[in-house]
Structure 1
Amino acid sequence: MSLSQTVHHTKDRELDELTKKRLLRLLSLILIFAVMNGTMFNVAIPDIQSHFGLSSSEVSWVLTGYIMVYAVGALIYGKLADYYPIKSILTFGIILFSLGALLGFFSPNFFTLIIARILQAAGGATIPALGFIIPARFFPKERGKVFGVISSTVAFASGVGPIVGGTVGGWLDWRFLFLFSVASLIALPFFRQWVPEEERKEGTIDFLGAGLFSAATASLLLFVTTLLPWFLLSFAVLCVLFIWRTMKVSDPFIRPDMLKNKYYTVTILTSFLGTSVLFGLLFVIPIMMRQLYDMSTLGIGLVLFPGAISAGFLGRLGGELVDRRGGEFVVVLALCLVGGGSFLISTFAGYAPWVVSLALLVAYIGFPLIQSSTANLLSSILSPRETGVGIGIFNLLNFMAGAVSSAVFGAVLESQRVSLSMNPFSRHGDNLIFSNLYICLGLVAAAALTLFLATFKKRPGAFHQPASKPSEVH
């Protein structure tokens, strides 16, 4: 039996409806733990810095190290899922995620804390990586709706993470944030019971190629976060070695044929640009709230909360819309919301915080729509043997989008104030640099929309309603 035939050859019983509901709810719950673990610690950085007596560059590794390992891990686990049972990968990941959290809770020094965060990232990366593969593999008829639930969960957890982090860190101590991750062990026996059995697929993984690609990605992330030229040089050298390895080996880590598929490359690029806009907003708005309004961490969290909770509830409807109208239509809708929301925030920057919060809500709703529609498109574009690594690259670029946005817009905010407004409807004052940044984010969304429409308007069947209505998952 060929590899392409075995990738979906599971003991792949058709899941009954009750098991589907249970598995989806459990997957959403564990995603909350994984995503919040990344965003909760953003607000705890000052406390960690004070506790261990660290410089700003030293304490930044609490986030940088986590993001770097998490991003690379999402790709690696996606590739492993093409060959190994999802149940086994999840078991390994959840245990490692929890052990890292336990070590972090008791960490006596900063070095131990960094090791704990790396272990957390190495284990936690299995959760979002497989969170988008499980629907493609086990929910083929309800794929769009399930992707919508997953994406809305990610959006919701991203928004409430800082609120939970600020609340727990303020009332108790930053160490107690680790206990959220330890609690994920509760989900393990249920995953073992409800995830279908699979057989080990034939074939081998190019681990040397995987190592080169991972090292290149880590070098790029380090350059983006530190701007040290040595990391950029390292990235260039490793890319050359990875290309050499890819051309030499018979079954490379990433197959060139997949990257030559213009629909695949444009889809992940569109997702990267759209997600960069959203992460850019989430990075800049807290800084604006602090500088213009002198708001507390909790207050900033409350500004973000309406968008996060709305995305959590409406994301599922977006998944249903994917099933009814197709992924292409929802990608366009999502980019319009993100771009339009960016323009609204640019216009009302400097107004009352609740006005900014409502404008952000428009853009925030686009977050789960981009995720669900893109994941659905990728699962239809890719062949079965490419699904795991293809969605892995999608996850990798999403994580890199956050790092790139933070680095670029952080550098812009450190520049001098501007006097020229790019938005004729905005106020003039201290808000001007923020207003211009939001306009730039809107232009990025417009560029992504233009690229997507130019590519997919010629794809057969694009922007047409699916012929049949898929069955429902509640």
Structure 2
Amino acid sequence: MRPARRRALALTSVVCANVMAVVDYNVVSVAIPKLLRAYPGSTLAGLSWTITAYTVVFAAVLLPAGGTADRLGPKRIFLTGLAVFTAGSAACALAPGPLGLVLARMLQAVGGGAVVALSISVGLSEFPGRAGHAFGLLGVVGGVAGASGPALGSALMAVGGWRWIFLVNLPIGALALACGALGIPPGERKGRGLPDLAGTALLAGGVALLVLGLTQGPAWGWTDPRTAASALAGCALTALGVRRSLRHPRPAADFTLLRAGPTAAGNGAMALMSVTQFAVALCVMLFLTERWEYSALAAGFALTPGPLASAVAAWRAGPLVRRAGPRAVAVSGALVAAAGWCWLAAAGARGDGRSYPLVLLPALVAGKAGTSVTGVAVQALAMSEVPPARFGSGSALIMLARSAGAAVGIGGLAAVLHTPSAGAFDAAWAAMSAAMLAAAVLAVATRPRRSRRGGRGGPGGENGRGEGEDGPSETPPDGRRPRPSKEPRAPSRRSR
């Protein structure tokens, strides 16, 4: 098979898998009213577990999936995750009651976590030396899928009922499996046997309890014993899992990657950026409906420029990262996003009227575009010191940081906007700006290694040259090449 055709099949598989996983992450929220009518006797609190359970299991699977892929090969785990997600979608469509739907959603989340954790690894293997392009593509896919998820879910339910939001995954999943089986290279097995099962259980359980406490904190109450017990138990189990992984010969996750400054800073910046990225849509929607008294439909249309700006910015961020380096792009994007949310906070302080084109639109475009650019850059920064043999663990750490930031952002927003007053919204905008500024500080504090020629490291190197598109490459994701071995040269004819 020609390299270009194989790459097209591999990227088609990654794109289809990400669209399914991202859309199903939040599409069920649109179906809750239909589910209440479909299952007489069910409650909103009970059905909300279709969302909570998916979020908790999704986050818990990320690290074990990455560690397993590093040992058994990313293709095997990626395709297994796709198959599990597709089977979980069928189980959701056939669920006879609320409990069955929650259990099927948990099965879906197992596959979705594995797919999303390894999408970065598979994407980087198709863009050797061009990490910005890989992250830009995934950013565009995630932005478009996240923005269209609610509308797509509503359209499917209008045509065929709520079960169709899951049935539509079956042909897409089959297509992704076929393309992945043909297009994704097998890769090398980095070891024998599975990763440490006890460490895997500790990490999965710890992350699940932490995310459970964060997501349920607004509903249970932040001072409720259940919230505190989840948080404390989650911290304890996660700490034990990290400690065991650092000592075990077959660790569940490779936390030694965080010893590299760019990896640690990139993951920290990803968590901070995600606090804003995942809270902003809900915050803007509440702002429009509660403060400006928009209808839900009008608010949805008013939000549209944000995801569009995010998708365009993610696509253009790849070449920017390649030319300027991830550090400079991350700082610039974070400052633009912080300025956008500061504009909203300042407008509220000035008492500006309900002027969408003058108040909200500039903030929405700048904030979403800047956040999207920052996301592409900090992922490239986080992977810049990760060797190809450990792409699985590196990408899983990024996605875990993203999930943690999302949980903190949404939980914190619920606490701040408990009473949706003007002051509460101003505090929310200010907190989003502070999170983006903190992400910029982390990126500034990172000192990139310098290449042999004295240029800064970054995707594709300073001059932007990497491997050919169709040729194999050992170039790490930051584009730096290994130094050639110093072998003695053959004597020239003159020296003889």
Match of 1:259 in 2: 258
Cα distance 1:336–1:459, how it changes in 2: closer, same or farther (>3 A)? farther
What does residue 168 of structure 2 align with?
Answer: 180
Residue of structure 2 in register with 1:233 after alignment: 232
1:142 touches 1:473 (CA, 8 Å); kept in 2? Answer: no
Structure 1 length as normaliser, TM-score? 0.86
Deviation of the 1:192 alpha carbon: 1.0
Q: Which of 195, 202, 219 in structure 1 is aligned with 2:184?
A: 195
Letter matched to residue 336 of structure 2: L
**What residue number does 1:403 align with?**
407
- How far 1:256 sits from its partner (Å)? 4.8
- Paired residue for 1:73? 61
The CA distance in 1 between the partners of 2:176 and 2:305, in whole Å, is 28
Alignment correspondent of 1:307:
306
Select which of 95, 109, 125 maps to 2:113. Answer: 125
- Unaligned runs of at least 5 residues, structure 2: 218-226, 471-496
Displacement of 1:231 in angstroms is 0.9
Q: Residues 207 and 314 of structure 1: is their aligned pair in 2 closer, same or farther, counting only changes over 3 Å?
A: same
The residue number in structure 1 matching 2:379 is: 375
Aligned to 1:453: 444
Deviation at 1:398, TM superposition (A): 0.7
C-alpha displacement at 1:441, in angstroms?
Answer: 1.0
Larger radius of gyration: 2
Shift of residue 133 of structure 1? 0.6
Tell me the distance in 1 between the aligned counterparts of 2:325 and 2:343: 27
1:166 to 149, 154, 165: 154
Give the match's secondary structure for 1:174: coil
Please point out which of 59, 65, 72 is paired with 2:47: 59
Match of 2:15 in 1: 28
Counterpart code for 2:341: S
Q: Comparing 52-61 with 119-128, which one deviates more in the overlay?
A: 52-61
Q: In the alignment, is residue 434 of structure 1 matched against residue 425 of structure 2?
A: yes
2:202 to 212, 217, 224: 212
Gaps of 5+ in 1: 1-12, 418-429
Deviation at 1:444, TM superposition (A): 1.6
Shift of 1:325: 1.3
Does the Cα contact within 8 Å between 1:328 and 1:462 map onto a contact in 2?
A: no
Distance in 1, matches of 2:19 and 2:344, equals 27
Answering whether residue 103 of structure 2 is matched by residue 107 of structure 1, we say: no
Give the distance between the partners of 2:205 and 2:414, measured in 1 at CA.
25
Partner of 1:394: 398
Paired with 2:186 and 2:389, the residues of 1 have a C-alpha distance of 18
Report the residue type matching 1:209 in the other structure: G
1:110-138: per-residue Cα shift (whole Å, max 9, x none)?
01111111111111223221211113223
Aligned twin of 1:425: none
Query: Which amino acid counterpart does residue 456 of structure 1 have in structure 2?
Result: R
Change beyond 3 A, Cα 1:112–1:352:
farther
> In structure 1, what residue type is equivalent to 2:175?
I
Aligned AA (2:189): R
- Alpha-carbon distance in 2 for matches of 1:160, 1:273: 24
How far apart, in 1, do the equivalents of 2:386 and 2:248 lie? Answer: 21
Superposed CA offset, 1:358-404 (max 9, x none): 42121112343233222222332123343211210110121222221
CA distance in 1, matches of 2:400, 2:447: 23
Equivalent in the alignment of 1:351: 354
**CA–CA distance in structure 1, aligned partners of residues 239 and 113 of structure 2:** 26
CA contact (8 A) 1:31 1:128 kept: yes
- Distance in 1, Cα, partners of 2:239 & 2:73: 32
d(CA) in 2 for partners of 1:379 and 1:101?
A: 31
Aligned to 1:361: 365
Contact 1:21 1:473 in 2 (8 A): no
* 3-state secondary structure, aligned to 1:107: coil
For 1:68 and 1:146, the matched residues in 2 are separated by 27
- CA change 1:226–1:345 in 2 (3 A) is same
Structure 1 CA distance, aligned partners of 2:239 and 2:186?
39
Displacement after TM superposition at 1:306 (Å): 1.6
The residue aligned with 2:462 is: 466
- Cα deviations across residues 328-376 of structure 1 (Å, max 9, x unaligned)? 1221122122212212333456624455244212111234323322222
Deviation at 1:451, TM superposition (A): 2.6
Instruction: Return the offset for 1:226.
Output: 2.4
SS at match of 1:43: helix
* Alpha-carbon distance in 2 for matches of 1:457, 1:197: 32
* Partner deviation per Cα, 1:231-277 (whole Å, 9 max, x = no partner): 12312331343245235523432345323323211110011101111
State the secondary structure of the residue aligned to 1:198: coil
Paired residue type of 2:151: I
Match of 2:481 in 1: none
> Comparing 229-238 with 195-204, which one deviates more in the overlay?
195-204
Q: Distance in 2 between matches of 1:243 and 1:79?
A: 13
Could you tell me how far apart the structure 2 residues matched to 1:45 and 1:346 are? 33
Find out whether 1:42 has 2:29 as its counterpart.
yes
Deviation at 1:25, TM superposition (A): 3.9
Compared CA separation, residues 244 and 76, structure 1 to 2 (3 A): closer
- Alpha-carbon distance between aligned partners in 1 of 2:137 and 2:247, rounded to the nearest angstrom: 41
3-state SS in 1 of match to 2:151: helix
Residues of 1 paired with 2:292 and 2:159: CA distance?
Answer: 24
SS at match of 2:100: helix
Determine helix, strand or coil for the equivalent of 2:29: coil
| Matches of 1:233 and 1:92, distance apart in 2 | 33
- Residue 458 and residue 211 in structure 1: after superposition, are their counterparts in 2 closer, same or farther (change >3 A)? same
Answer yes or no: is the 8 Å Cα contact 2:118–2:395 preserved in 1: no
How many residues align? The count is 448
Quote the Cα distance in structure 1 between the aligned partners of 2:254 and 2:129: 27
Residue in 1 aligned with 2:416?
412
What's the counterpart of residue 421 of structure 1?
none
Cα drift, residue 320 of structure 1: 1.2
Partner of 2:222: none
- Code of the residue aligned with 2:399 in structure 1: it is N
Q: What is the distance in 2 between the residues matched to 1:257 and 1:187?
A: 33
Cα gap change, 1:448/1:380 in structure 2, threshold over 3 Å: closer, same or farther? closer
What code does the residue aligned with 1:377 have?
L
8 Å contact from structure 1 (residues 278, 363) kept in 2? no
Q: Is the 8 A contact 1:348 1:356 kept in 2?
A: no
Report how far residue 288 of structure 1 moved. 1.7
Deviates more, 1:393-402 or 1:70-79: 70-79
Question: Which sits farther off after the overlay, 338-347 or 325-334?
Answer: 338-347
Matched with 1:8 is none
Give SS of 1:118's match: helix
